[in-house]
């Protein structure tokens, strides 16, 4: 009987020790942190939607300025150099993949530094100045942040 009580006591002691040490470990441990860079395109009203100011229709009219804000969040652990490449395409454009960019032409580039644990915001104001349709192609003359983009950007109509 005495031996049975001692064994039972040791079993309970071992069980409680395991439970309490596990709880203490999880309470005292910091959660795992994953380093990342975040990127968002915000409309002029600060939302991640309604990029087009004409009643939500996905059409941009000639001369209409769209005011977007590109935000880059740096949570890597040190200062980062970020390159922003702007491309414009339509329904005929091949989209980017995990391993390569789309086939749309580069129309603007900027390089910025993003301090650690901070967000950097890049103003991106753009408008279509003119449109031409020679044959089956559509060419857009664009203005980005007050500067005319040249030559005109062209793609198969679609």
Give the model confidence (pLDDT) of 60-117 as tens digits. Answer: 889 989 899 999 999 998 999 999 998 888 888 888 898 988 888 888 899 999 999 9
Q: Residue 154: pLDDT band by 50, 70, 90 thresholds? A: confident
Question: Taking CA 100 as the corner, what is the angle to CA 133 and CA 88, rounded to the nearest 5 degrees?
Answer: 25
**Does pTM surpass 0.85?**
no
Does the pLDDT of residue 148 top 70, yes or no? yes
Give the start-to-end residue ranges of the domains of the chain.
1-31, 36-125
Query: CA torsion angle for 54, 59, 64, 66 (degrees, to 10)?
Result: 80
């Amino acid at each position: 009987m005495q031996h049975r009580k001692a064994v039972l006591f040791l079993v309970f002691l071992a069980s409680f020790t395991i439970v309490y040490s596990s709880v203490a470990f999880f309470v005292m441990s910091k959660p795992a942190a994953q380093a990342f860079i975040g990127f968002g395109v915000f409309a002029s009203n600060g939302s991640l939607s309604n990029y087009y100011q004409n009643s939500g229709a996905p059409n941009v009219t000639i001369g209409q300025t769209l005011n977007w804000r590109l935000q880059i969040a740096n949570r890597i652990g040190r200062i980062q150099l970020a390159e922003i490449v702007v491309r414009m395409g339509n329904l005929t454009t091949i989209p980017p993949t995990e391993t390569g960019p789309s086939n749309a032409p580069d129309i603007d580039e900027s390089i910025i530094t993003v301090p650690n644990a901070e967000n950097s915001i890049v103003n991106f104001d753009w408008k279509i100045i003119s449109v031409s349709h020679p044959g089956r192609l559509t060419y857009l003359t664009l203005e980005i942040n007050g500067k005319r983009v040249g030559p005109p950007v062209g793609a198969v109509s679609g």
